[in-house]
Structure 1
Amino acid sequence: MLKKENTGLIIIDIQGKLAGLVHDSDALISNCKKLIKGAQALDLPIIWLEQNPDKLGSTVEELSSLLKMQQPIAKFTFDACAEPQFMDAVRSANVDTWLVCGIEAHICVYQTALNLKRTGVEVQLVCDCISSRTLANKNLAVSKLLNHGIDLTGLEMCLYELLKDCRATEFKEILSLIK
């Protein structure tokens, strides 16, 4: 079970034109927006990544406007774990479980989640907060990550699992995101 005391969120490369080209992009961006707001309400550490931002563009405004208190970590490798600044951020967050969302599921999300798990932390893929240009590639990534021991979750499932109790102070805020 997820615990807010030891869980963080990693947002991978939801940027530029590509964000609008992935399968069901409107739902992806809407769900990621809810996930970010939920993570903020629960006071989870958030790490935000951008792949080659000078070429691919910045994170979409709907999400970057929520993250203005921090800067994205630029990367050029598909696997964020090869970026020292990312690994420093993972270690300094002092959590051992990471929720992962972003694009593209079969490239950067897949490689980062897999190698992050290999560092010894738990990884949960938020399946309704990832996408690829094709649904087939998203499904392939999910299948392969599942075979490698990555846990799967969904937007509502992870937020309520972190929340634990309807008497929690964050309950109404989380409920308003899901409705």
Structure 2
Amino acid sequence: MLTLNSASSDLLVIDFQTRLMPAIHDSDAVISNAFSLIEAARYLNLPLTYTEQNPEKLGHTLTKLAPYPGEVLHKMTFDALRTPKVAGHIDGTNAIVVAGCEAHVCVLQTVLGLIDAGRQVFVVADAVGSRTPQNRRAALERMARHGAEIVTTEMVIFEWLGSAEHPSFRDILKLVK
């Protein structure tokens, strides 16, 4: 599939945690884009999964990105798929849309794990962050080399909608304006 379809997509939100985000370069923009993706996924009733890396040390998911109705899965592994509960939760055939932090650690390793497992992965570049722009850029390039589609928040949202006639078009359009 070259474009996303809301009927066959899941959103995976990786490690937007309270103690991690202040260190992320351009974190306000990354959080804002993740918020738009999450809200669009909710409007469209897409499966939504959150991970938290070592929440005792890094805190929980940001309140703004409140993890309802998705399930928060705790992990200690950088590749979320190496945590059996996470791997079992996102098992299936849907395309996986990924937003998260840090691009060069947990996002990268999880995306490579998903690709290795035969999944189609769309990494939302403007909803992915790292402490440094160099790490983010290198991670996005590496993920693309291995088969991840690198997309933007607006690309994902408009592909999920498919048409200006979609019943949720006006509500979801507010997320990108």
Does the TM-score normalized on the shorter chain lie above 0.5?
yes
Residue 52 of structure 1: how far off its partner (Å): 0.4
2:154 is matched with which residue? Answer: 156
More helix by share: 1
Residue ranges of structure 1 left out of the alignment (5+ in a row): none
User: Once the two structures are superposed, what CA deviation does each residue of 1:44-78 show, in whole Å capped at 9, x if it has no partner?
Assistant: 101100000011111111112xx233441000000
Answer whether contact 1:5 1:95 (CA < 8 A) is retained.
Answer: no
2:56 is matched with which residue? Answer: 54
Calculate the TM-score normalised by the size of structure 1: 0.95
The answer to whether the aligner puts 1:106 opposite 2:104 as a matched pair is: yes
1:27 is matched with which residue? Answer: 29
2:73 is matched with which residue? Answer: 73
1:89 is matched with which residue? Answer: 89
User: Once the two structures are superposed, what CA deviation does each residue of 1:66-121 show, in whole Å capped at 9, x if it has no partner?
Assistant: x2334410000000010111111112xx4420000000000000000111111111
**Whole-angstrom CA distance in 2 between matches of 1:68 and 1:125:** 21
Query: In structure 2, the residue corresponding to 1:54 is in which secondary structure?
Result: helix
**Whole-angstrom CA distance in 2 between matches of 1:114 and 1:71:** 22
Query: In structure 2, the residue corresponding to 1:158 is in which secondary structure?
Result: helix
Q: Aligned-pair RMSD on alpha carbons?
A: 1.0
Percent identity reads 38
**Whole-angstrom CA distance in 1 between matches of 2:9 and 2:70:** 18
Give the aligned length: 175
Residue ranges of structure 2 left out of the alignment (5+ in a row): none
Letter in 2 for 1:118: D
Answer whether contact 2:47 2:70 (CA < 8 A) is retained.
Answer: no
Rate the CA distance shift 1:161–1:71 in 2: closer, same or farther, 3 A. Answer: closer
Answer whether contact 2:13 2:49 (CA < 8 A) is retained.
Answer: yes
Answer whether contact 1:100 1:124 (CA < 8 A) is retained.
Answer: yes
2:166 is matched with which residue? Answer: 168
Residue 42 of structure 1: how far off its partner (Å): 1.3
Answer whether contact 2:25 2:132 (CA < 8 A) is retained.
Answer: yes
